[in-house]
Structure 1
């Protein structure tokens, strides 16, 4: 069974004080995880984690990562503005966008962010609308297929992201004459994978590419960003990634390929958004109705607009029922919301204790791509976000939306 960061009695008291639904994040666990990651990669003097803002764009969490020495990875003008508001600038920010606007490039240059180009063809556009920086990174598309649990997770051959090896090589050769002094390569290889050996093998491709680039052009890559994709165990009994073993596998590849080359020392970066916050967030909702037809339904006071992950991102999130841990899990429910959409189900045929109106359900592993994927479909509003602080108190870090928020951008008299 998965455990909660609070005693059931405490969580039930919180649910009485703060109306459900809400997200709850465990500050202490997030900080400890960030420290474990940095300790694992301490062998690489330039290592830095750039937390992916898109997976959880709450300033309270971004500030935690800033205090822990992490940077942020941004993908839009708004995320850049959020990063600036939280005190990030310069080397603290990796700007990894695609189909980028002039305004986004201009703000990235204003913040002196590390610009990570999705398309080498954007160099002329960047120079025209903002100017070229002294450091540039390019997103590499390796053209391979990543599979996990017998499914294709990423087919790079058909992906809209990144540039080919030939395109990056050609672009890098032309850049020193334009004042570029620092070069980086970025690629995502993980996408839910957790095996250490896999990451060791995957990063060899990046290391080999960096060597090829130096041998053919004389360009020395200063950093490699192996990006995100380190998975988490959603189901009870699954093993979490061993970050020390992942790092050791990457170090072995580094020692074999980079250390003997002219590229050593080479800084390594990561963007492990899901790994950083996923296991340390919880979505909390209350049972509103029990319905019985051909199936048994537990209707919640939340809908999947507020927590889309079970519908489109990951089909299983473990559910705890505080106060009923000792009861037999002998009832089967579809856990649903109130959307005018039959797919509005958090779980299907899930075995749980007997539920009644007012029971609290806690969905585990909701700390990444939860709130950030939420919508206001059907006029259902987004929930609050709470932080379980390192001292053990609970505070609101985002209030729940109101109908006034929903109407705020509309031009009409809504009295």
Structure 2
């Protein structure tokens, strides 16, 4: 019926369509796993860039403009697993900035091609290196920024292309001493290149405090009991958690962490130094970390649940078939963690919201590709993997 359709609107630009994403009841998931709770997904791929990161892309650049950190003709440089890059690329396309994104080589080809389609330059870096290594995606972003700063003025797209190609060559050839020299050289800061740095940017959690959390509160009529979210930069769970706890003290905020990440270990009381020794690569994208960003406040997280790659991928694929929701691997991880936690803790009669950060269209050649899964040692019989939850 007509009244079931969303109200149509007219907007002046694409950025005005960010946010106001739907909350969708997962009735089939509830029945299949015999959950005695109302289970809802906050479906963030309804954002124009296909992910929750559109929200922070907009907030971080608006904040930088107000603070004079970037000017017209400037270049936005950011280390990203892909989605934050898309959010920033949306803003850049609308407002006329150039963009460069550094991305670990484990990230999907779709994400790289999507960023390039939006006019961005992309530099691929090794995945299995420490954050402080000169060829990590964090440090490579700083190297690009420093080379632009060294110019002392706004640069052309052709000049930016030359810088990007040079830095990619240094990474590919493992010219670590030359990268280190670029990072250590003293250059004057200019507003012609800016790294928002989602891991240390206060506008990251603020975006979720002021938008995502408010939407969830209004959509549930304040009756939310549990929120489950994967933790990447931590901005999502921190911003939402802070807002919800200010309004309902007994709401439970549960973090979902992939095996190989440090968050669950640190939350349990392990020192950062010891946790880092146990960190190792994993394949689910966009959640987990091998550093502790300033954007995460683990004191707001009541409990953690750990999910491995196999569990995340099986639930992601099952979700698409069962509910018709094509979400990414971090969504599957969050959903698996939610079902596991609710069942193991015997939680019943509660209203539960799970954050689905992005679209599965970014992972068609990986998570939704049997050949890729088998080549990486994963089971492709999803129901077999999920049987343990029933």
> Fold-level match, TM-score > 0.5?
no
Larger radius of gyration: 1
| Structure richer in strand, relative to its length | 1
Q: TM-score range by the shorter chain?
A: 0.3 to 0.5
Higher helix share: 2
Normalising by structure 2, what TM-score?
A: 0.33
